[in-house]
Structure 1
Amino acid sequence: MVVGEFVQKRQLIIVGGGPGGYNAAIRAAQLGQEVTLIEKEELGGVCLNTGCIPSKTLTHAASQYSSMPHLKELGIHTEAVRFEWPAFIEYQKRTVSGLQKGVEALFKANKIEIIKGTATFMSENRIGVDSGHHYEMYQYENAIVATGARPVMPQGISRTEGKIIYAEELRNLKQVPGHVVVCGSDYIAIETAMAFRNLGADVSLICRDDTFGLDESIARELNRVYKKAKIKLFKKAELVEASAGGETVTITLQSEKEKVTLDADVLVLTERYQPNTNELGLEFIKVTMDDEGYIAVNEYGETSVPGIFAAGDCTIGMRLASKAIKQGKVAAERIAGIASAYSLAVVPQVIHSTPPIAAVGLTEKEAREQGYEVKTGQFAMGGNGFASLSGQKEGLAKMIMDAKTDLLLGVHMMGAGAAEMISTGTLALEMAAREEDLSYPVYAHPSLSETWLEAVEQATGKAIHLPPERKKETATS
């Protein structure tokens, strides 16, 4: 290995080219910073290359395939419909490649320097980069750590290529498996289970938390949809062991009631991750991290060390690209002298399942636990005109409000349009909207958004497309 003779000076160094890193880089360049980004793999990080984009390409393809029966109802006949996994994988690769080239073009346009290699902090203002055949030392004014996180296997379970895998490895499969077992209680597990069921696979889902962290009304509806789709759900269960032999994976799980053994073609694990911070040398420069290695940051993205910021999945908190993007931009703006900050109090969650699920704010349970006197409104998608005509009648919309002040506390939706519509709920919560703010506007008709209006009006007994609630009879003497 050749070692550089001189310490090279840089204004801003960003370690990691995922959503947090590349958004920070572009924002910083817009603000006049000279930016150097260090990435040891591909620009775009896990989200673009193996996570968000590939997985949502899969859920989109599966959703389109599952919509074929409705096309026949409309009089649209597509004979000999079939799904070809190799063709899909090629489409997935082209999509990822196109987006990656777009990011590269933006870097070039913003004159951002990209260095390929592994970074290690040597002191509070110096970082070394090992490119495999060359080692260079850089001195920086500010740095942003955006190295993300990686999946890990549960204790006692060994990864086996093509058989016992992470969700990020689904793109490496050669065909749609006959039986897929998914183990996880997160949004990735929900998406993966329904996608493969829509593509014709038998699916079993092992989950510790049968609510998947969702509002109880949405969780019940999801359980109903799974039952209708014939997805085998093992609730409040733990994976005990798994081993791959020949063409089969043998899986043992422990549920509340019994120990069960399953045979499957593939076992997909979704929810265990650890931050990519263990080889950065952050402990030597006294950056505060929790016991798992996640970096502690404040609302400005600052770590405990002046001049060093962090963004994304390597920081304490939720693992969402939206969080990483916001943190990265705020860090870049603070470095450039702008009084910027962020809050993770109101962050939308989107699950690209069939039907999609989206939520923002408090669940009904959380609202009650926080001491609110809660009132809720709920409306089924089956009662919406546009959902009916488009054959997308599964799901519901639910509004959670403070009964004393009518303040909106949470918005939860399962159904067509949920992913796009949740931004309206996020904005409403940020602006401290009340019941009147949601019921006063004129809603387009026919539209999926009318489910929100009906849900709000149901909370006050005004919903048009719901029968009146039966009054409880009181005993008379």
Structure 2
Amino acid sequence: MVVGDFAHEREVVVIGGGPGGYHAAIRAAQLGKEVTIIENQKLGGVCLNESCVPSKLFANAAGKLDEARDMESFGIKGYEKVSFDINGLQERKNKVVHSLTQGVEALLKKNNIEKVQGTAFFISDTELGVENQDAFEKYKFEQVIIATGASFSAPENIPDNDDRILFGSSLYAMDETPEHLALYGSDYITLEAAAIFASFGSEITIILDQEKDSFSFDKTINKELLRLLKKRKIKVYKKTKMTDVTALKDGVHVTLISSNGELTIEASHLFVSSDKSANTSGLRLESCGVEVSANGFIPITNTTQTNKSHVYAVGDTTTSGSLAVEAIKQGKVAGEQAAGENSEWDPGLCPVVAHTVKPIAVVGLTEEEALQEGYNIRVSQFPLASNGYAALSNEKEGIVKVVSEKDTDVILGYHAIGCGSIEMISSAVQVLEMGGRIEDVIYPYYPHPSINEAWLEAAEGLLGKAVHG
């Protein structure tokens, strides 16, 4: 190993080039700081290279397949023989990921950010060591931002060395379409994968764990989601414990126990939604005195600072956030704080979306949560079947639901499943962030015809004013 004999001095060092890391680096640089970013793999992190971008590309492909199968209802002929080639989709994924990665690289250069390839670890609370093969360099920093992310870890007693048993983002690296894909989990990752591969032609089985009889959305959304899954012939086992998983030569044998007794499933592939572990074990955080939780995640304040005021942490590596949108927000705050700006982030009102059988987008309190918190509430739901644009586009399945406080008319929550849900969620987030009331939603103009009118009529329904509800 070649060892540097001096330390490079930098104002701000960012460890990790994922969404949180590169946003932090760019914001600090925009505000005049000299910034170095250290990455041991690819810029963009897991989100860009393996997870967020590939999964949404696959979801987009599934949506296009579904649209093609519906073309005849619009008088468009010749789509009856539409087929799917997963290898062609993988080629497109690789091109898109490469292009976006190059885009991040260009942004760093544009902002004069030094990129260092290697694995970083703390030597002290002001110095880092960086190893890259046989080379070793030291970096002395004024402030450092940790953005090393997290990794999926296989649950106990489940084989992790068989290519038919999948974890994390490995679904989107397959070169074959599963004949029968079983999925164990109830999160948005599981739901998206189920919908995607159902569109691709796979038989799908979802297994909810023994504590779950539904998904983690508002009860109205869950009911509609389960109906849509059933319509798509996606089997859902509720409150089920997976007791044994055996990899076979041409499939996976899964043993389950539920209130109805023991049953077995033979699938070609099994996906297991697994927990994440923070990528902090190699950082030697004890050398700089940064506190971590029992499972390695780093607690942070609303300014993204750790217990060491000059050490920041963002994204999956923290105890406060597992979505890319949170990592991006925290990254910007960390970069601004490192440059002397008074900036904060708030964990509340972060939207959750799922590109599943029909898109789901939610923000704020569910009906159940609002009642549990003691609110006197109004609830209104509007079916997309009553929306003109949904009817003309043959996208009539879905519901928009709004929860408000009865005494003040303040909007507490927005929950939607169906066409346009994800596109409308930003408007809902803005209303909730501003403490908006029903009148703030129903007063503005909404284009006609449009799916947006479902958001309007759901809000009008809170006051009994919806015309089509």
Smaller-chain TM-score range? over 0.9
Matched letter for residue 303 of structure 2:
Y
1:305 is the counterpart of 2:308: yes
Instruction: Report the aligned-residue RMSD.
Output: 1.2
**Is there any run of 5+ residues in structure 1 with no aligned partner, and where?**
467-477
1:249 is the counterpart of 2:252: yes
Q: How does 1:192-211 map to 2 (within 5 A)?
A: 192-208=193-209, 209-211=212-214
1:412 is the counterpart of 2:415: yes
1:164 is matched with 165
1:18 is matched with 18
2:85 is matched with 84
Q: Distance in 2 between matches of 1:22 and 1:286?
A: 24
1:6 is matched with 6
2:241 is matched with 238
Q: Distance in 2 between matches of 1:77 and 1:182?
A: 35
Q: Which has the larger displacement, 292-301 or 63-72?
A: 63-72
Q: How far does residue 405 in structure 1 lie from its aligned partner after superposition?
A: 0.9
2:155 is matched with 154
Q: How far does residue 171 in structure 1 lie from its aligned partner after superposition?
A: 2.8
1:142 is the counterpart of 2:143: yes
2:71 is matched with 71
Q: How far does residue 360 in structure 1 lie from its aligned partner after superposition?
A: 0.6
Q: Which has the larger displacement, 446-455 or 62-71?
A: 62-71
1:263 is matched with 266
What SS class does the counterpart of residue 67 from structure 1 fall into? helix
Q: How far does residue 99 in structure 1 lie from its aligned partner after superposition?
A: 0.7
Matched letter for residue 61 of structure 1:
A
Q: Is the 8 A contact 2:300 2:320 kept in 1?
A: no
What SS class does the counterpart of residue 59 from structure 1 fall into? helix
**Is there any run of 5+ residues in structure 2 with no aligned partner, and where?**
none
Q: Is the 8 A contact 1:185 1:271 kept in 2?
A: no
Q: Distance in 1 between matches of 2:62 and 2:3?
A: 50
Deviations 1:259-309 (A, max 9, x none): 221111111122411111111111343212222111110110100012100
Q: How far does residue 315 in structure 1 lie from its aligned partner after superposition?
A: 0.7
Q: Which has the larger displacement, 205-214 or 141-150?
A: 205-214
Q: Is the 8 A contact 1:185 1:210 kept in 2?
A: no
Deviations 1:13-42 (A, max 9, x none): 111110000111111111111111111110
Deviations 1:38-74 (A, max 9, x none): 1111000000000100000011101110122321110
1:272 is matched with 275
Q: How far does residue 95 in structure 1 lie from its aligned partner after superposition?
A: 0.8
Q: Is the 8 A contact 1:162 1:172 kept in 2?
A: no
Q: Which has the larger displacement, 273-282 or 223-232?
A: 273-282
Q: How far does residue 235 in structure 1 lie from its aligned partner after superposition?
A: 1.3
What SS class does the counterpart of residue 106 from structure 1 fall into? helix
Deviations 1:191-231 (A, max 9, x none): 00011111110000112334321111101110000111111
Q: Distance in 2 between matches of 1:388 and 1:317?
A: 41
Q: Which has the larger displacement, 437-446 or 330-339?
A: 437-446
What SS class does the counterpart of residue 436 from structure 1 fall into? helix
Q: Is the 8 A contact 2:126 2:288 kept in 1?
A: no
Q: Distance in 2 between matches of 1:37 and 1:161?
A: 35
1:331 is the counterpart of 2:334: yes
1:439 is the counterpart of 2:442: yes
Q: Distance in 1 between matches of 2:153 and 2:254?
A: 18
Q: Is the 8 A contact 1:357 1:415 kept in 2?
A: yes
Q: Distance in 2 between matches of 1:195 and 1:131?
A: 38
Q: How does 1:71-470 map to 2 (within 5 A)?
A: 71-79=71-79, 80-208=81-209, 209-466=212-469
Q: How far does residue 102 in structure 1 lie from its aligned partner after superposition?
A: 0.6
Matched letter for residue 315 of structure 2:
G
Q: Distance in 2 between matches of 1:237 and 1:35?
A: 50
Aligned length: 466
Q: Distance in 2 between matches of 1:451 and 1:221?
A: 16
Q: How far does residue 337 in structure 1 lie from its aligned partner after superposition?
A: 0.8
Q: How far does residue 392 in structure 1 lie from its aligned partner after superposition?
A: 1.0
Q: Distance in 1 between matches of 2:277 and 2:425?
A: 29
Q: How far does residue 342 in structure 1 lie from its aligned partner after superposition?
A: 1.1
1:471 is matched with none
Q: Distance in 1 between matches of 2:35 and 2:41?
A: 18
Q: Is the 8 A contact 2:228 2:357 kept in 1?
A: no
Q: Is the 8 A contact 1:186 1:271 kept in 2?
A: no
Q: Is the 8 A contact 1:178 1:265 kept in 2?
A: yes
TM-score with structure 2 setting the length? 0.97
Q: Is the 8 A contact 1:381 1:393 kept in 2?
A: yes
Q: Distance in 2 between matches of 1:271 and 1:144?
A: 27
Q: Is the 8 A contact 1:148 1:313 kept in 2?
A: yes
Q: 1:457 to 1:83 in 2, by over 3 A?
A: same
Q: Distance in 2 between matches of 1:91 and 1:359?
A: 30
Q: Is the 8 A contact 1:149 1:313 kept in 2?
A: yes
Q: Distance in 1 between matches of 2:42 and 2:194?
A: 28
Q: Distance in 2 between matches of 1:290 and 1:22?
A: 25
Q: Distance in 2 between matches of 1:262 and 1:160?
A: 20
User: 4+ runs of 1 displaced by more than 6 Å?
Assistant: none
What SS class does the counterpart of residue 411 from structure 1 fall into? strand
Q: How far does residue 356 in structure 1 lie from its aligned partner after superposition?
A: 0.4
TM-score with structure 1 setting the length? 0.96
Q: Distance in 2 between matches of 1:146 and 1:167?
A: 19
Deviations 1:77-117 (A, max 9, x none): 23421111110110111111111111111111111111111
Q: Distance in 1 between matches of 2:258 and 2:149?
A: 32
Q: Which has the larger displacement, 60-69 or 39-48?
A: 60-69
Q: How far does residue 245 in structure 1 lie from its aligned partner after superposition?
A: 1.6
